[in-house]
Amino acid sequence: MAARQRASRTDVPMATGVAWPRPSMWWSAVCVLAGLAIGGACAPGTSGSGGAPRRAGRSDRPLSCPPDMVLVTGGVFLSGADPEEVGVSPLGRALGFVPRPVRMVEVGDFCMDRYEFPNQPGVLPVRSISWIQAAEACRERGKRLCFEAEFERACGGLDGWHQPYGGRDDPGRCNDYAPGPGSVSHLLAPSGDFFGCVGPEGAYDLEGNLSEWVAPDEGPPAVLLEPGDWTEPAGPADGIVRGGTIWPGVYGSGCHARHFHPADASAYEDDGFRCCMTPRGIQARK
């Protein structure tokens, strides 16, 4: 797929580990210097390998998810991005479609649908659905909409990558670089067709294809580094949508792209969703 190269969050491949002091480095420093142990996030083995971790002090049972979901272990991760890194246009800024501020955030363990709803590989995902309808569809399946912090964690990993596959754009790897305008029905891909567009734990299409409705985080997330004026950008509407879509939008693209629509709006044909739930083996979130 033809695509344009855009400035990425780091111009150094993350695989080399030579990027500017990204969170894993900060994180180690914080753990050592501040002695933090919030949520076990400083402990080894909490970086989301998709295995069956045990959470000290929370349960003796290993965590597990249904086979069509991925397990994402909780902990502290880098949330947010600068608008320039995400590619927010002047119009997007004027509309308030900007990423969350850069900060460390804690999230609990969760299960996430491997694909956009209806979570079936090779099937076109559901679109033109309101936030309210999406939340109900998840509820009917014993799940819930993913929280915003969960989307960020599953997409960008612990290091807050710009894309689900890493810190540097690889145009065409996700379905988010459609050249020029086109109909969504023509450009939308069946779930999993972009097989390289996968996050650290195995969730596909977190970037691109459809941008995704998410639920607002429950309670204030923990801010562990650089405390200060971390005012959450308020949206112009009550429904949050995360990630890029088929083409670069006014709100940019990647794991940190963020925009808003009214929760009852179903007219946006490039918006979809996926469901999350609490893993088996720990108590349900309050």
Which residues contact Ca ion (rule: CB under 5 A)?
A: 205, 209-210, 243
Which C-beta is closer to Ca ion: that of 109 or that of 205?
205
Nearest-approach distance from CB 205 to Ca ion, in angstroms: 4
Nearest-approach distance from CB 84 to Ca ion, in angstroms: 22
Residue nearest to Ca ion (CB): 205
Which C-beta is closer to Ca ion: that of 73 or that of 209?
209
Nearest-approach distance from CB 28 to Ca ion, in angstroms: 31
Which letter, b or e, does each residue of 147-161 get, where b requires 16 or more Cβ atoms within 10 Å of its Cβ? bbbbbbbbbbbbbbb
Which C-beta is closer to Ca ion: that of 63 or that of 88?
88
Nearest-approach distance from CB 122 to Ca ion, in angstroms: 16
Nearest-approach distance from CB 25 to Ca ion, in angstroms: 29
Q: Quick check: 14 and 159 in contact, CB under 8 A? A: yes
Which C-beta is closer to Ca ion: that of 160 or that of 199?
199
Which C-beta is closer to Ca ion: that of 41 or that of 112?
112
Which C-beta is closer to Ca ion: that of 243 or that of 254?
243
Nearest-approach distance from CB 261 to Ca ion, in angstroms: 15
